[in-house]
Amino acid sequence: MILTVTDFGVAGPYLAQMHAAALTRAPDLPVLDLVADLPAFQPIRSAYLLAALAPAFPAGSTFCCVVDPGVGSDRRALIVQANRQWFVGPDNGLLAMVARRDPGARTWTLDWRPERLSASFHGRDLFMPATALLATGQPVPSTPIDPGRIVGATAPPDLAEVVYIDSYGNAMTGLRADTLPADAELLAGDRRIARARTFADVAPGRALWYANSSGLAEVAVNQGRADRDLGLNVGAPVTLHGTPAGDA
């Protein structure tokens, strides 16, 4: 399958144009929108969510990843093969975590260019066509590059910040829950928050953090909104017993 990972939002013509670009070259493959509301213009924070979401999909899945504030500039385009999956997108940190978390990851600069390449929509004109070519087993001109040379290669393995707010107001962090002590309390929005297994383990209106379905530490309020009730937004810091959680 082909999956889109973008900060476009679902309004407007952009996702439909991405689907059309995929189906033109890979008409027999399903195209799914994995996430369309990544933090706008924030590829590094988005990288932690992408790395958490991708393992749920089967080997051979191909991800077209577009959070690209540098579109049209001299930033490179990348292909990454990690965990038997393929990722295509800009070299701006967005693909850094999927590459970093697989010791056997391979990376290439994407050298292929289409006949038509706009200055402002490489998702449609460059990344998605290349994704479709990869997904159908066709050759894509590219040059191998050391994974340690891509943007974001030296970013911390976990990010002690909120990286995504979902439609319920739950705040996903860039911390993998299994890296934290079982009895850890997180400090977020000036509140110390205990771990729970699921929402119903705390009373309505109470805050909790838990290991979400993608393995990230997520802060929530049972039947409330963590973003509103705790004053959280993307980029808000998260600490563990007064220590930055990513350093614990």
Task: State the CATH number of the domain containing residue 129.
Answer: 3.40.50.10790
- Residue 35 belongs to a domain: yes
CA dist., res. 19 & res. 26, Å (int): 10
Query: In terms of domains, do 204 and 107 share one?
Result: no
Query: Do 192 and 208 touch, CB atoms closer than 8 A?
Result: no
CATH of the domain at 240: 2.40.30.90
End residue of a domain, out of 115, 149, 183: 149
Are 184 and 216 part of one and the same domain? yes
Q: Which of 149, 175, 193 is the endpoint of a domain?
A: 149
Residue pair 97/152 in contact (Cβ under 8 Å)? The answer is yes
What is the pLDDT, as a whole number, of residue 82? 98
Whether 130 and 219 share a structural domain = no
Of the residues 96, 114, 149, the one at which a domain ends: 149
CB 237 within 8 A of CB 244: yes
Place of tokens 């402002």: 120
Task: Based on the fold, state whether residues 229 and 132 are members of the same structural domain.
Answer: no
pLDDT at site 247 = 45
Is residue 242 a contact partner of residue 185, using CB atoms and an 8 Å limit?
Answer: no
143 and 216 inside one domain = no
Structural domains counted in the chain: 2
Residues 245/160, Cβ–Cβ less than 8 Å: yes
Q: What is the pTM of this model?
A: 0.94
- Residue 29: domain span: 2-149
DSSP H or E stretch at residue 163: strand 159-165
Do 169 and 90 fall into the same domain?
A: no
pLDDT by residue for the chain (248 residues), tens only, comes to 999 999 999 999 999 999 999 999 999 999 999 999 999 999 999 999 999 999 999 999 999 999 999 999 999 999 999 999 999 999 999 999 999 999 999 999 999 999 999 999 999 999 999 999 999 999 999 999 999 999 999 999 999 999 999 999 999 999 999 999 999 999 999 899 999 999 999 999 999 999 999 999 999 999 999 999 999 999 999 998 645 455 43
